[in-house]
Amino acid sequence: MDERDRQDSAAHTSATAGRAGVRAASLYVVATPIGHLRDITLRALDVLASAAVVYAEDTRVSSALLAHHGIARRPRSLNAHNETARTGEVIGALARGEDVAIVTDAGTPAISDPGARLVRAVRDAGHRVVPIPGPSAIVAALSAAGLAAAQFHFAGFLPAKAGERDARLAALARIDAAIVIYEAPHRIADTVAALAAALDPARTLVVARELTKAFETIAAMPVGEAPAWLAADPDRRRGEFVLIVDAPVSTDAPDAALGDALRWIDALAPEMAPARAAHVVARMTGAPRDALYAHALGRKRERAR
Ligand code: SAM
């Protein structure tokens, strides 16, 4: 823990703790590399070495990272399946004054990864949550994409079922911003074909593959040409992907307000049923209810994964 942490922690103790003799502990949400093992901050290493407990999505992956940096410790598991069950354990440790750190296999926890439910519960229980920023595939891809768009919409993973995916794409097509999508190798060809079918074929697609790794590829092309580009070489379909579609070029098709409306859905979706969220946001913003409902349903399915 550095000097600022110590000062913040002391302030937090006096402001919120009040439990006799127990220092206020923190949950540290620690970003780790998305490939290159040296892409980790000094502060992240300090926290991972000093926290009383480290929770990891896959303990083998994180043990290897820690060992690479000379930290010999075995994390405990915290993943999408046991996140709720582990929450009581984490809050118990914090209540005893023990700092806890959480990491996922790659990048920033809670970004298409476990962590958000734990963070919410820890904050609701009155404990401090401290982000330790670092890599995330979204930001790495955007930084090298050279977009024309000033705004982006993070769509995460598209739904696996074709009908739901196409409904989501129909909504995304109307947003006046770049769209950022995560994708895995077994679905990349289908997803790129769906993008080419749903979007103006002239929009620029940036394929960011295997970022920070040996076979890193960053290629830009009109989305209409992307299926053929992928089909031309099997290596182009291997690894992990961030797909970025730059904002629409024409001014008539996009619906600038829809981006804001979808962000309202993102905020409300954890609190209410998809149909209710779509109804409320449609009334607030005037955006089409069917597009909002498809988006809310997709978010609900993501949370259940
Ligand atoms: N929490 C992570 C983050 O902050 O980026 C994302 C975790 S999500 C389960 C994994 C997805 O992130 C992959 O399927 C891929 O879409 C993207 N991703 C992760 N590492 C990547 C990399 N090195 N290059 C390209 N995409 C990557």
CA 282 to mean position of chain CA atoms: 26
Tens-place pLDDT, residues 92-137: 999 999 999 999 999 999 999 999 999 999 999 999 999 999 999 9
Report the distance separating Cα 54 and Cα 50, nearest Å: 9
| Dihedral angle sign, alpha carbons of residues 149, 151, 152, 153 | negative
Q: How far is the CA of 107 from the centre of ligand 1 (A)?
A: 7
Q: Which amino acid is at 207?
A: V
Half-sphere exposure of 85 (CA within 13 A, CB side): 7
Find the radius of gyration of the CA atoms of the chain: 21
- Residue to mutate (ligand 1; options 58, 79, 242; most atoms within 8 A of CB): 242
Confidence of residue 65 (pLDDT cuts 50, 70, 90): very high
Q: How far is the CA of 182 from the centre of ligand 1 (A)?
A: 7
For every residue of 231-262, DSSP letters joined together read: HT-GGGGSS-EEEEEPPPSSSSS--HHHHHHH
What burial letters (b/e) apply to 247-256, b meaning 16+ CB within 10 Å? bbeeeeebbe
Tens-place pLDDT, residues 197-254: 999 999 999 999 999 999 999 999 999 999 999 999 999 999 999 999 999 975 544 4
User: Could you tell me the domains of the chain?
Assistant: 22-135 (3.40.1010.10), 138-245 (3.30.950.10), 256-304 (no CATH)
Helix ranges, the chain (H): 3-12, 42-50, 59-68, 83-95, 116-124, 137-143, 162-172, 188-198, 226-231, 256-268, 274-285, 289-304
Closest CA to 102 of 117, 115, 84: 115
**More confidently predicted of 16 and 31:** 31
| Dihedral angle sign, alpha carbons of residues 168, 209, 205, 235 | negative
For the whole model, what pTM was predicted?
Answer: 0.81
Report the distance separating Cα 35 and Cα 31, nearest Å: 12
Closest CA to 241 of 275, 278, 210, 279: 210
CA distances from 64 to 58, 87, 136 (A): 10, 24, 19
Tens-place pLDDT, residues 159-198: 999 999 999 999 999 999 999 999 999 999 999 999 999 9
Residue showing tokens 């289908």: 190
Q: Which residue CA neighbors atom 11 of ligand 1 most closely?
A: 182
Q: How far is the CA of 52 from the centre of ligand 1 (A)?
A: 28
Report the distance separating Cα 208 and Cα 23, nearest Å: 44
Report the distance separating Cα 300 and Cα 265, nearest Å: 11
Tens-place pLDDT, residues 255-266: 667 788 888 888
Q: Which atom of ligand 1 is nearest to the CA of 213?
A: 23
Q: Which atom of ligand 1 is nearest to the CA of 110?
A: 1
In the β-sheet with 217-222, what is the strand arrangement from edge to edge? 152-157, 178-183, 241-245, 204-209, 217-222
Calculate the CA dihedral of residues 249, 252, 257, 259 and round it to 10 degrees: -30
CA distances from 95 to 11, 15, 55, 255 (A): 17, 15, 17, 48
Residues with CB under 6 A from ligand 1: 34-35, 104, 106-108, 111-113, 136-138, 182-184, 208, 210-213, 240-242
Q: Which atom of ligand 1 is nearest to the CA of 135?
A: 4
Q: Which atom of ligand 1 is nearest to the CA of 183?
A: 16
- Residue to mutate (ligand 1; options 180, 182, 212, 243; most atoms within 8 A of CB): 182
Structure confidence at residue 132 (pLDDT): 98
